């Protein structure tokens, strides 16, 4: 069957793997947005995709009219990015909910695949850029069906999530992972479409505001779907701060929250589909152009870049650099919840971190602006490893601090200070990597080049976190006390132990084993491979230039 209106266009512009910064309740190393990451996702700003303009364009920019005439478009972009952050925030809250239901860390590792799509969307971004229905609109062809599916998935989850979380055999982690993976995949696809639409929705003089909409919108959406939801869902938090008479449930439930946002997705998408013209007039202002490369051409270009010796070496280093931080980033928050720290309180610790996360890139960029930005990465590396050990000590100390009324204020102050120090090290490495990516990327193919490096960086945080979660249970030793003939090596054996009147007691927590092993691996990486990464800064610009027909 032919689809005469299904147009194939050439566009090689790649998306940045957007994401969110996660609170210590689920410290991941993933998006913006493992058990994913407290690490911000690496990305290109939309204005970085705009090429040099001719002399006529430059003279046009001297009269910069501001955004007053485009407030509607800016508001729409901001709203679309907020919608994008909602499923990411919800996905980030599920591991904390699962931890309260005593699921295994292997199940947590399996669920952590939910956070991978934003780190892999480079591989289907060329398709989203190139295939569309011309009559309906290049970006709306993907945005509208994607958001409808997001809304429908949320409505489906609102009806089934309680049964998935509270079945007789425990939470149905497989189905939860499948559904939330689709939510993350659709959100990543929506991000590709919205990023592309931003370049033509806003005029050239205002297109730089697209990155601001992305950052603010995603952060706000993640906050609503994670921090606000966890607070309002917590009966303890609501009874303590929001109610005069205590109740057994919070102000909202997960099904209610999913149903509300599912309806918002469906209604708002319908309004956008009907009333928003994709290529409408912009008050006489000239829109930014989009790059043009075919789908196969883009994939070939990616392969050509990866084959370059310097790029290949750098990618290997990026894929292995975060092994040393994986236990601290992926498991610490879950261990704190396991020790009794309320998940709502952990989520709220992200709020005072926002000013710090805004200021840190500004301050650190002063030290990464020179020819050797990776020196900052190298110096921050051991500091971040030490913080990983401090996290392990914090988890070990937590049970002894717990009181009948919860945890004292000084405990949360120490957790907050630990998280702030972690953010300093994390952002030092993040900004250094971003600066180096910008320095070595071939300007002729900068969008594709930088997005490839950012994707590899994000993947280098995702896979160690998944492995770290997976290995906690195998490295944990338990014995059955009170039933001498029984053991606790598996869930079935643990059940027999309890049936015989015994109790399974942890003699060695795999988290502490992982913490030490990861730090040792990290130190070895820093001593041998860290120097190799610094030496890449000494390569000539020609070693990073991609030799393709332009």
**Domain annotation for the chain: domains and CATH numbers:** 70-277 (1.20.1250.20), 293-473+515-549 (1.20.1250)
CA distance linking residue 175 with residue 111, whole number of Å: 10
Structure confidence at residue 333 (pLDDT): 94
Cα 461 to chain centroid, rounded: 10
Predicted confidence (pLDDT) per residue in 484-497, tens digit: 777 887 777 787 88
The Cα angle at residue 393 between residues 387 and 397, in degrees rounded to 5: 140
CA distance linking residue 254 with residue 247, whole number of Å: 17
Structure confidence at residue 31 (pLDDT): 41
**Per the structure block, which two tokens stand in for 54?**
């001719």
Torsion of CA 238, 244, 245, 251, to 10 degrees: -30
Predicted confidence (pLDDT) per residue in 322-343, tens digit: 999 999 999 999 999 999 999 9
Question: Does the pLDDT of residue 550 top 70, yes or no?
Answer: no
Structure confidence at residue 290 (pLDDT): 52
Higher pLDDT, 15 or 286: 286
Average pLDDT of the residues of the chain: 82
Q: Which of 6-20, 250-264, 398-412, 460-474 has the lowest mean pLDDT?
A: 6-20
CA distance linking residue 361 with residue 210, whole number of Å: 19
Question: Does the pLDDT of residue 8 top 70, yes or no?
Answer: no
Contact 480, 497 (CB under 8 A): yes
Structure confidence at residue 49 (pLDDT): 37
Q: Which of 205-214, 262-271, 377-386 has the lowest mean pLDDT?
A: 205-214
- Per-residue 3-state assignment (H helix, E strand, C coil) for 284-305: CCCECCCCCCCHHHHHHHHHHH
Torsion of CA 69, 72, 73, 77, to 10 degrees: 140
Predicted confidence (pLDDT) per residue in 352-366, tens digit: 888 888 888 889 988
Please report which confidence band the pLDDT of residue 122 belongs to, taking 50, 70 and 90 as the band edges.
Answer: confident
Please report which confidence band the pLDDT of residue 395 belongs to, taking 50, 70 and 90 as the band edges.
Answer: very high
Give the count of beta carbons closer than 10 Å to the beta carbon of residue 118.
30
DSSP 350: T
Rounded to whole angstroms, what are the CA distances from 370 to 317, 364, 373, 435, 436? 21, 12, 6, 9, 10
Question: Does the pLDDT of residue 448 top 90, yes or no?
Answer: no
Higher pLDDT, 15 or 514: 514
Please report which confidence band the pLDDT of residue 272 belongs to, taking 50, 70 and 90 as the band edges.
Answer: very high
Higher pLDDT, 374 or 215: 374
**Per the structure block, which two tokens stand in for 166?**
């509270």
Q: What is the mean pLDDT of residues 1-28?
A: 37
Question: Does the pLDDT of residue 39 top 70, yes or no?
Answer: no
Question: Does the pLDDT of residue 18 top 60, yes or no?
Answer: no
Cα 517 to chain centroid, rounded: 25
Predicted confidence (pLDDT) per residue in 363-377, tens digit: 998 898 888 999 999
Q: What is the mean pLDDT of residues 257-268?
A: 96
Torsion of CA 163, 164, 169, 171, to 10 degrees: -130
Question: Does the pLDDT of residue 429 top 80, yes or no?
Answer: yes
CA distance linking residue 539 with residue 516, whole number of Å: 34
CA distance linking residue 390 with residue 409, whole number of Å: 19
Question: Does the pLDDT of residue 412 top 70, yes or no?
Answer: yes
Structure confidence at residue 379 (pLDDT): 95
Structure confidence at residue 169 (pLDDT): 79
The β-bridge relationship of strands 477-481 and 131-133 is unpaired
Q: What is the mean pLDDT of residues 33-48?
A: 46
Helical ranges in 321-445 per DSSP H:
326-338, 343-348, 353-368, 374-401, 409-440
Structure confidence at residue 7 (pLDDT): 37
Burial of 492 (0-12, 13-18, 19+ CB in 10 A): exposed
Tokens 């502490």: give the residue. Answer: 512
Please report which confidence band the pLDDT of residue 442 belongs to, taking 50, 70 and 90 as the band edges.
Answer: confident
Residues above pLDDT 90, as percent of the chain: 47
* Phi, psi of 372, deg, nearest 5: -130, 65
Structure confidence at residue 23 (pLDDT): 46
CA distance linking residue 330 with residue 327, whole number of Å: 5
Question: Does the pLDDT of residue 257 top 50, yes or no?
Answer: yes
Predicted confidence (pLDDT) per residue in 165-212, tens digit: 987 778 999 999 999 999 999 999 998 888 888 878 888 777 778 877
CA distance linking residue 153 with residue 139, whole number of Å: 21
Rounded to whole angstroms, what are the CA distances from 366 to 148, 301, 360, 376? 43, 33, 10, 11
Please report which confidence band the pLDDT of residue 480 belongs to, taking 50, 70 and 90 as the band edges.
Answer: confident
CA distance linking residue 177 with residue 94, whole number of Å: 10
pTM, two decimal places: 0.82
Predicted confidence (pLDDT) per residue in 59-99, tens digit: 443 434 566 778 888 899 999 999 999 999 999 999 999 98
Q: Residue 92 contacts by C-beta under 8 Å, 6 or more apart in sequence?
A: 20, 22, 26, 33, 36, 115, 222, 225, 226
Structure confidence at residue 293 (pLDDT): 61
């Amino acid at each position: 069957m032919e689809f005469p209106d299904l147009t194939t266009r050439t566009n090689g512009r790649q998306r940045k793997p957007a994401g969110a910064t996660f609170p210590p309740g689920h410290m991941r190393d993933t998006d913006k947005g493992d058990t994913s990451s407290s690490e911000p996702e690496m990305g290109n700003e939309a204005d970085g995709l705009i090429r040099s303009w001719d002399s006529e364009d430059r003279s046009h920019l001297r009269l910069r009219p501001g955004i007053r005439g485009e407030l509607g478009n800016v508001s729409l972009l901001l709203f679309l990015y907020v919608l994008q952050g909602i499923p990411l925030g919800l996905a980030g809250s599920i591991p904390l909910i699962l931890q309260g239901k005593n699921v295994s860390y292997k199940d947590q590792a399996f669920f952590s695949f939910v956070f991978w799509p934003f780190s892999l969307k480079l591989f289907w971004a060329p398709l989203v850029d190139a295939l569309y229905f011309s009559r309906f609109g290049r970006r709306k062809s993907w945005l509208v069906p994607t958001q409808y599916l997001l809304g429908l998935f949320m409505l489906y989850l609102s009806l089934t999530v309680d049964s998935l979380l509270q079945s007789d055999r425990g939470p149905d982690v497989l189905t939860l992972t499948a559904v939330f993976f689709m939510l993350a995949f659709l959100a990543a696809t929506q991000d590709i479409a919205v990023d592309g639409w931003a370049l033509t929705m806003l005029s050239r003089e205002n297109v730089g505001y697209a990155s601001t909409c992305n950052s603010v919108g995603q952060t706000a959406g993640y906050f609503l779907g994670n921090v606000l939801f966890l607070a309002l869902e917590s009966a303890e938090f609501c009874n303590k701060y929001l109610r005069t008479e205590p109740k057994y449930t919070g102000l909202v439930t997960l099904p209610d929250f999913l149903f509300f946002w599912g309806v918002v997705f469906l209604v708002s998408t319908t309004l956008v589909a009907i009333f928003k013209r994709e290529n409408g007039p912009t008050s006489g202002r000239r829109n930014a152009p989009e790059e043009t490369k075919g789908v196969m051409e883009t994939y070939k270009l990616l392969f050509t870049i990866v084959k370059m010796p310097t790029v290949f070496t750098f990618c290997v280093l990026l894929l292995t650099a975060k092994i040393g931080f994986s236990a601290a980033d992926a498991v610490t928050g879950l261990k704190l919840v396991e020790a009794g720290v309320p998940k709502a309180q952990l989520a709220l610790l992200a709020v005072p971190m926002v000013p710090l996360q805004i200021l840190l890139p500004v301050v650190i960029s002063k030290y990464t602006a020179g020819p050797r930005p990776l020196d900052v990465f190298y110096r921050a590396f051991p500091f971040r490893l030490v913080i990983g050990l401090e996290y392990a000590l914090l988890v070990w100390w937590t049970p002894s601090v717990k009181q009948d009324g919860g945890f004292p204020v000084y405990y949360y102050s120490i957790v907050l200070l630990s998280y702030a120090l972690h953010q300093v090290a994390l952002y030092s490495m993040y900004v250094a990597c971003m600066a180096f990516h910008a320095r070595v990327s071939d300007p002729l193919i900068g969008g594709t080049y930088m997005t490839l490096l950012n994707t590899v960086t994000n993947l280098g945080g995702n896979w160690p976190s998944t492995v770290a979660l997976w290995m906690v249970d195998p490295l944990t030793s338990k014995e059955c006390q009170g039933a001498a003939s029984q053991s606790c090596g598996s869930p079935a054996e643990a059940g027999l132990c309890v049936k015989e009147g015994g109790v399974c007691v942890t003699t060695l927590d795999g988290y502490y084993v992982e913490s030490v092993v990861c730090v040792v691996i990290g130190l070895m990486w820093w001593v041998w491979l860290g120097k190799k990464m610094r030496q890449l800064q000494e390569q000539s610009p020609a070693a990073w230039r991609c030799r393709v027909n332009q």
